[in-house]
């Protein structure tokens, strides 16, 4: 068995264990974090006291139960009033209100059913007119920005590869963004894989030949 064969086997083994190991590490981290919710349970009811040893993963059940109960309370009239009261109280605390307000705006945008963030994927020209990249639509500019760029623009987030938690915020003309049929999840996988995991085409636009530029808008002259 030559060195080339050993090297090929070694790389093949890495390709198997690296994603598996990282996945297991992330799952363990999530389980450990959720298990912290067991600190809310009195010591006499902890698994160490009842069974004599710790049972990992029970915090997941307790965390899900807390989330469901909180969501049920927040969804009704009295729960919403209580949350508004809590928000107003937190909003009066210096420093805390800045952190809480910013995080709440982001979470509301990303996870609220009324939010429009990351609802669809588009193609935009970036970082120059001769290149394309996949971006995620986050909404449309309003108020002061529209006084300078007009209303026919969309706001997009361009994730970096392979770290999609970082990226660039851009405002591009609506007619220069091409809407894609791929889901946001598929778009993120495509970006993370650096273009290797390209989602399959659902259907070819009528009259579009392979290699044809789908954007009829001419590039602006510089």
Mapped to the 3 state alphabet, what secondary structure does 66-101 carry? HHHHHHHHHHCHHHHHHHHHHHHHHCCCCCHHHHHH
Q: Which residue has the higher pLDDT, 170 or 78?
A: 170
pLDDT at position 134 is 94
Q: What percent of the chain has pLDDT over 90?
A: 13
What are the angstrom distances between the C-alpha of 40 and each of 49, 144, 149, 201? 15, 47, 52, 49
pLDDT single digits (tens) 57-67: 778 888 888 88
pLDDT 10s digits, 7-53: 888 888 888 888 888 888 888 888 888 888 877 778 777 777 777 77
pLDDT 10s digits, 79-122: 778 888 888 888 788 888 778 777 776 666 666 555 556 778 99
Q: Which of 122, 131, 123, 154 is nearest to 219 (CA)?
A: 131
């Amino acid at each position: 068995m030559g060195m080339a064969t050993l090297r090929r086997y070694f790389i093949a083994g890495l390709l198997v264990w690296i994603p598996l190991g990282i996945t297991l590490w992330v799952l363990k981290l999530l389980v450990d974090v959720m298990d912290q919710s067991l600190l809310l349970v009195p010591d006499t009811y902890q698994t160490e006291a009842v069974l004599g040893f710790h049972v990992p993963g029970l915090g997941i059940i307790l965390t899900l139960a807390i989330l469901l109960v909180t969501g049920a309370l927040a969804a009704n009239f009295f729960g919403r009033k209580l949350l508004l009261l809590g928000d107003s109280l937190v909003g009066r605390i210096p420093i805390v209100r800045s952190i809480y307000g910013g995080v709440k705006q982001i979470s509301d945008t990303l996870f609220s059913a009324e939010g429009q963030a990351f609802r669809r994927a588009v193609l935009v020209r970036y970082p120059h007119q001769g290149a394309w990249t996949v971006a995620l639509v986050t909404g449309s500019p309003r108020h002061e920005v529209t006084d300078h760029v007009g209303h026919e623009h969309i706001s997009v987030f361009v994730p970096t590869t392979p770290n999609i938690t970082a990226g660039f915020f851009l405002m591009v003309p609506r007619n220069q963004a091409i809407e894609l049929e791929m889901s946001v999840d598929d778009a993120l996988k495509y970006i993370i894989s650096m273009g290797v995991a390209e989602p399959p085409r659902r259907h070819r636009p009528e009259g579009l030949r392979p290699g044809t530029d789908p954007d009829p808008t001419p590039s602006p002259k510089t």
